[in-house]
Amino acid sequence: MQKIDQILKALAKEAIGEKWGIQLEEELIQVQKTRKDFTGDFTVVTFSLLRYSKLSPEETGTILGAYMQEHSIMVAGFNVIKGFLNLEISQQYWKEFLDGELKAEAYGTLNADKDSPLVMIEFSSPNTNKPLHLGHVRNNLLGHSVARILKASGNRVQKVNLVNDRGIHICKSMLAWKKEGNGANPESTGQKGDHLVGDYYVRFDQLYKAEVAALVDRGKSKQDAEAGATVLEEAREMLRLWEADDVEVRALWETMNSWVYKGFEETYRRMGISFDKTYYESNTYKLGRELVVRGVEEGVLYKKEDGSIWANLEDEGLDHKLLLRSDGTSVYMTQDVGTAHQRFEESGFDSHIYVVGNEQNYHFQVLTIVLKKLGYEWADRLFHLSYGMVELPEGKMKSREGTVVDADDLMDEMEATARQMSEELGKLENFSEEDKTRIFRQVGMGALKYFILKVDPKKNMIFDPRESVDFNGNTGPFIQYTYARIRSVCRKGKEIEKCTSAEALNEKEIALVHMMYEYPEILREASRALNPSLVANFLYELAKEFNQFYHDHSILSADSPGQVCQRLLLVEATGNIIESGMDLLGIEVPERM
RNA sequence: GCCCCCGUAGCUCAGUGGAUAGAGCAUUGGAUUCCUAAUCCAUGUGCGCAAGUUCGAUUCUUGCCGGGGGUACCA
């Protein structure tokens, strides 16, 4: 089925040729969705055509409209207001759409095959010294949703995680545990592993601060105290031992990391996200060194007298960037050069997306430039999906000040709120505890996911816990509730035979059909822009449109059996799109709530 | 200092080179003999400022103001 705007453009082009003898490129003809307050479905903007018609906007629109109505059964009527030619699409066309394309399995989505583009997407990328918090939640939800959207748009997608499991921060947790843990572990304490380890990370910071304060009291300068604290020196020593493969340190490291992974796994499972492959920085941190050294040999990078290696980025308007320390160890950039190389060698990806916060915009800008310098033609296939920070109403989250929002706590709270809401409203009273728990989980998680994904990724957002547990209005539960009502109607109407639509569509019905018609377009745009918020906001508009229809018109008690059936088609199609769209956001939809 | 992002209603967010810039929350009031009222309807206020490009700018460009981030031999 050809898209309506394409047909209209071709028709308008024909009219222009016929009336004014000009052969115009179709791209020069503006066709847009008619704004809500005006009659019509699609609008041709005439202003750019005036130079050809040499007539007023109104006259131009009227001539075009008359021609288009006369020459196509698709155009049922038109009006011209201030140079905007509003076209009404015939009921016939909408009905064909309703009976055909809209009924198709997985309407709007494309399937990938062997030859489809391969997209690699890295997200989550946690540190193993503390549990996941709200910032990670945004990262994870974005990564997961973008991966789904890309897949539904006909790409092969590979989701990867890069765990930062080495470095001084992990040693800090290990050291504090060694000093004060007394052998505590997740089994003995009943605490989730990532939280347990996170607590020792915090404990280290307390020890460190106490020692610095003590040193300052004894007359040391703050700077000397901070640099010379023995706990920090011990942590550094531990890192040295780790790098030297010290058996004891490595064993502790592996034990504590395994606690953390178990905890992460639980959090990921609860969030409904997964990866096709997980990389560990302890395995990859040496990658890239060789490539950088080769870059020096090829003359695209340079070495200072102290042995450190640098890239000169002045041609790109940037500074010089360190790629290898004077002691020969790698920096973050070196590692990313290595992993990008490795992943391309492994997969030959067509594009690679990094879901990383916007504080690393500079890093990824430099990464692309350095890879180009090293001669990788695929450097331009890397894309940094840069998202804004999540802030609390009282300001930034700071782990030191205890103002972080923990991911697990947050999920608990959302589910508890879903339960409370439901009980207050007296819903689900005769459901089993098992069913209730499942539904509250779906609703609570739906609220959280939608709250975060409806915001444009690149913008910073404010997370207000009070607002997040409001399940009315532009929220996940609003859309889920709409879906539950749809399913309820469908269950009751299912004895009615399948039919084709024959009855006249009313205004609300056309509005609904028109919105659903736009769904594939929205998906394509979301995929192109890597922006789930487009899907989220579309679903909200769709649900709202449906609720108005539902409120104004009876479905099961419509005027005639034919109308009942036609409305059921419409209702079912709406439900399918909500389900499919919510799935792209990683949100489940309940049959009842 | 330099670089990047953001600035839309009291708050949280949509949106667009085009018509009278929208939603939710909050406020106030209304709707349920009927498909789930977690619904629907009504109710005021706003594109940071200034110039430019354009038939037309909230949208594009430049400058300024405000907020955030970056500019580490940290990751």
Q: HEC string of A378-424?
A: HHHHEEEEEECCEEECCECCCCCCCCCCEHHHHHHHHHHHHHHHHHH
Across all strands, nucleotide nearest A86 (CA–C1'): B19
Bridge-partner residues for A122, per DSSP?
A: A160, A354
The tokens describing A363, both together, are 């890093």
Does the complex come out with an ipTM higher than 0.90?
A: yes
Q: Name the closest nucleotide to A525, judged by C1' and CA.
A: B15
In the predicted model, is pLDDT for residue A396 greater than 90?
no
DSSP A534: H
Of the candidates A312, A305, A311, A297, which has an alpha carbon nearest to the alpha carbon of residue A326? A305
Give me the mean pLDDT over the A158-165 stretch: 95
Chain B bases closer than 7 A to any CB of the protein: 3-7, 11-15, 18-20, 22-26, 34-41, 55-56, 67-75
Q: Are A449 and A533 in contact (CB under 8 A)?
A: no
- Distance in angstroms: CA A11, C1' B14: 33
Domains, chain A, in order of start with CATH, read 4-89 (3.30.1360.70), 285-350+359-374 (no CATH), 407-584 (1.10.730.10)
Categorize the per-residue pLDDT at A540 as very low, low, confident or very high, splitting at 50, 70 and 90. very high
Give the residue with minimal CA–C1' separation from B18.
Answer: A45
A462-CA/B64-C1' distance, Å: 27
Q: Report the candidate in A530, A536, A526, A137 with the shortest Cα–Cα distance to residue A353.
A: A530
pLDDT above 90: residue A167 = no
C-alpha A174/C-alpha A183 separation (Å) is 11
Q: Which nucleotide is nearest to A534 (CA to C1')?
A: B14
- Give the mean pLDDT of A557-577: 92
Distance CA A471, CA A54 (A): 55
How many other β-carbons are positioned within 10 Å of the β-carbon of residue A41?
22
Contact (Cβ atoms closer than 8 angstroms) between residue A162 and residue A122: yes
- Per residue in A223-282, pLDDT (tens digit) is 788 888 899 999 989 999 998 899 999 999 999 999 999 999 999 999 999 999 999 999
Structure tokens at A404: 């972080």
Q: How far apart are CA A57 and CA A159, in angstroms?
A: 52
Q: How far is the CA of A479 from the C1' of B13 (A)?
A: 17
What pLDDT was estimated at residue A399? 61
Q: Which residue is nearest to nucleotide B54 (CA to C1')?
A: A48
Q: Which nucleotide does the CA of A306 lie closest to, via C1'? A: B73
Residue nearest to nucleotide B2 (CA to C1'): A318
Name the nucleotide with the smallest C1'–CA separation from A391.
B68
Closest protein CA to C1' of nucleotide B32, residue: A551
Which region holds residue A223: left if phi is over 0, alpha if psi is between -120 and 50, else beta?
alpha
Distance A363 CA to B6 C1' (A): 20
Residue nearest to nucleotide B35 (CA to C1'): A489
A480-504 core/surface letters (b: 16 or more CB in 10 A; e: else) = bbbbbbbbebbeebeeeeebebebe
The per-residue pLDDT for A105 is 82
**Secondary structure element (H or E) that encloses residue A179, with its range:** helix A168-180
Closest nucleotide to A48 by C1' from CA: B55
Instruction: Give the residue-averaged pLDDT of A343-367.
Output: 94
Return the structure tokens found at A192: 């989730």
Residue at minimum CA to C1' distance from nucleotide B55: A47
Measured N-to-C along each axis, helices A407-424 and A247-271 cross at an angle, to the nearest 10 degrees, of: 20
Task: For A1-57, write each residue's pLDDT tens digit.
Answer: 678 989 999 999 999 999 999 888 888 899 999 998 899 999 999 999 998 899 999
Determine the distance between A516 (CA) and B11 (C1') in angstroms: 32
Q: Which nucleotide is nearest to A486 (CA to C1')?
A: B35
Residue nearest to nucleotide B41 (CA to C1'): A548
The pLDDT assigned to A403 comes to 67
How far does the CA of A30 sit from the C1' of B53, in Å?
21
Q: How far is the CA of A470 from the C1' of B24 (A)?
A: 10
**pLDDT per position as a tens digit, A398-456:** 665 566 889 999 999 999 999 999 999 988 988 999 999 999 999 999 999 999 999 99
How far apart are the C-alpha atoms of A119 and A175, rounded to whole Å?
40
Nucleotide nearest to A169 (CA to C1'): B75
The pair of structure tokens assigned to A540 is 């909200």
Please give the nucleotide, over all strands, whose C1' is closest to the CA of residue A422.
B38
Lookup result for tokens 């959090």: A267
Instruction: Inform me whether the pLDDT recorded for A319 exceeds 70.
Output: yes
Name the token pair of A172. Answer: 């800090």
What are the helix and strand counts (H, E) for chain A? Answer: 22, 14
pLDDT value of residue A454: 95
Protein CA A178 to sugar C1' B7 (Å)? 49
- Mean pLDDT (chain A) is 92
CA neighbours closer than 13 Å in the CB half-sphere of residue A561: 6
Task: Give the distance, in angstroms, between residue A440 CA and nucleotide B46 C1'.
Answer: 38
- Which residues neighbour A260 within 8 Å (Cβ) at sequence distance 6 or greater? A128, A129, A193, A194, A197
Q: How far is the CA of A83 from the C1' of B20 (A)?
A: 15
Q: Between vectors from CA A324 to CA A322 and to CA A327, what angle results, nearest 5°?
A: 125
pLDDT at A464 over 70: yes
CA A404/CA A215 separation, integer angstroms: 29
Per-residue pLDDT of A60-104, as tens digits, reads 999 999 999 999 999 999 999 989 999 999 999 999 999 889 988
Instruction: Taking residues A545-567, report their average pLDDT.
Output: 92
Q: Which protein residue has its CA closest to C1' of B69? A: A359
For residue A397, is pLDDT > 80?
no
pLDDT range class, residue A531, cuts 50, 70, 90:
very high
CA of A340 to C1' of B21 (A): 44
Residue A544: pLDDT over 60: yes
Q: Can you give the distance from the CA of residue A469 to the C1' of nucleotide B36 in angstroms?
A: 21
The gap between A395 CA and B8 C1' (Å) is 22
Give the mean model confidence (pLDDT) for residues A354-364. Answer: 93
State the sign of the Cα–Cα–Cα–Cα dihedral A283, A289, A292, A298.
Answer: negative
